[in-house]
């Protein structure tokens, strides 16, 4: 399970110097917790969408792409290829490698903006790009919060907020990394680690979201449900025999 001691950043400063950031001099490479393998930040969103999908991808190494995943992948690739730039008092780094040894996370931030605070200090502000529109669950916010936690550990700086950019709407929404979101994020990290440690793929259970899943033909939730019903029927008939 995730640690109950959630870092609320009260001991971290605001603002960092960013000389060389994004050109490889700020490396995220390093050993994770000795007892755990690192978890990709994107895995958190897979788990929130569907624990079975998460297990199929990360335990059974099953992957298939559909239009939605392809559009998302292309958007991320385009963002990462744009490189660094400056816009007034904001410097922008793209495709930034991330890691948290405390939580055992690794990943890549689409964009990290550095907002000028005066003198030589800049405030990091992560921005995650999504192809669609805001979701009803917190999966996008949790993914972004996990990125912020990694940056805080890497740079020893407090990061109170970031943003989600949705391509379909062409709009950007600010996200505040409050204690509640941080606890939820660490809880999902713990749940994912438990799933991976167990080595067990959860059974399928059909819902409307299955129709948009790129693994629906590998998972076959409707057919799995039918097979389960048939097995239950046969067992019931056998049990009722005199």
Q: Calculate the alpha carbon distances from 10 to 14, 115, 158, 211 in Å.
A: 10, 20, 8, 43
CATH topology for 1-202 is Lambda Exonuclease; Chain A (3.90.320)
Q: How many residues does the chain have?
A: 242
* Residues in CB range of 2: below 8 A, 6 or more apart: 103, 186, 187, 188, 189, 190, 191
Q: When comparing pLDDT for 209 and 241, which is higher? A: 209
Q: Calculate the alpha carbon distances from 222 to 20, 226, 228 in Å.
A: 52, 6, 10
Write down the domain spans for the chain: 1-202, 206-242
Closest CA to 210 of 191, 228, 194, 224: 224
Cα 196–chain centre separation: 15
Tens digit of each residue's pLDDT (9 = 90 or more) over 36-46: 589 999 999 99
Q: When comparing pLDDT for 150 and 33, which is higher? A: 150
Query: Distance (Å, rounded) from C-alpha 130 to C-alpha 110?
Result: 10
* Residues in CB range of 46: below 8 A, 6 or more apart: 53, 54, 57, 58
Quickly state the pLDDT bin for 1 (edges 50, 70, 90).
Answer: very low
Choice among 8-17, 27-36, 188-197 with the minimum mean pLDDT:
27-36
Mean pLDDT of 78-83: 66
Element (H, E) at 140: helix 139-155
Mean pLDDT of 87-107: 93
Residue 207: what pLDDT?
81
Burial 144-158 (b: 16+ CB within 10 A, else e): bbbbbbbbbbbbebb
Quickly state the pLDDT bin for 57 (edges 50, 70, 90).
Answer: confident
Quickly state the pLDDT bin for 157 (edges 50, 70, 90).
Answer: very high
Quickly state the pLDDT bin for 209 (edges 50, 70, 90).
Answer: confident
Residue 5: what pLDDT?
39
Element (H, E) at 165: strand 161-166
Please say if the pLDDT value at position 19 is more than 60.
Answer: no
Q: What is the mean pLDDT of the chain?
A: 79
Please say if the pLDDT value at position 227 is more than 90.
Answer: no
Helix ranges restricted to H, 4-115: 41-49, 51-58, 67-81
Residue 46 and residue 113 in contact, taking contact as beta carbons nearer than 8 Å = no
Query: Distance (Å, rounded) from C-alpha 104 to C-alpha 86?
Result: 32
Quickly state the pLDDT bin for 26 (edges 50, 70, 90).
Answer: very low
Query: Distance (Å, rounded) from C-alpha 74 to C-alpha 11?
Result: 39
Residue 156: what pLDDT?
94
Quickly state the pLDDT bin for 105 (edges 50, 70, 90).
Answer: very high
Burial 174-188 (b: 16+ CB within 10 A, else e): ebebeeebbebbbeb
Residue 142: what pLDDT?
98
């Amino acid at each position: 399970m995730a640690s109950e001691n959630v870092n609320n950043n009260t001991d971290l400063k605001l603002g960092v110097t960013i000389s060389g950031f994004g050109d490889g001099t700020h490396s995220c490479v390093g050993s994770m917790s000795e007892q755990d393998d690192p978890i990709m930040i994107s895995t958190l969103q897979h788990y929130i969408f569907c624990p079975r999908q998460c297990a199929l991808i990360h335990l059974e190494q099953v992957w298939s792409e559909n239009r939605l995943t392809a559009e998302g992948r292309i958007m991320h690739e385009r963002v990462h290829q744009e490189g660094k730039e400056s816009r007034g008092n904001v410097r922008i780094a793209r495709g930034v490698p991330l890691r948290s040894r405390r939580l055992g996370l690794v990943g890549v931030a689409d964009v990290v903006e550095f907002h000028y605070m005066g003198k030589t200090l800049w405030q990091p502000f992560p921005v995650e790009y999504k192809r669609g529109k805001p979701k009803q669950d917190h999966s996008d916010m949790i993914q972004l919060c996990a990125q912020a936690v990694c940056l805080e550990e890497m740079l020893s700086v407090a990061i109170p907020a970031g943003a989600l950019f949705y391509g379909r709407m062409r709009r950007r929404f600010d996200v505040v990394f409050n204690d509640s979101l941080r606890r939820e994020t660490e809880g999902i990290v713990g749940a994912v680690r438990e799933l991976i440690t167990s080595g067990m793929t959860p059974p399928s259970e059909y819902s409307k979201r299955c129709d948009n899943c790129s693994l629906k033909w590998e998972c076959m939730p409707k057919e799995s449900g039918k097979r389960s019903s048939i097995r239950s029927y046969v067992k019931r008939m056998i049990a009722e025999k005199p």
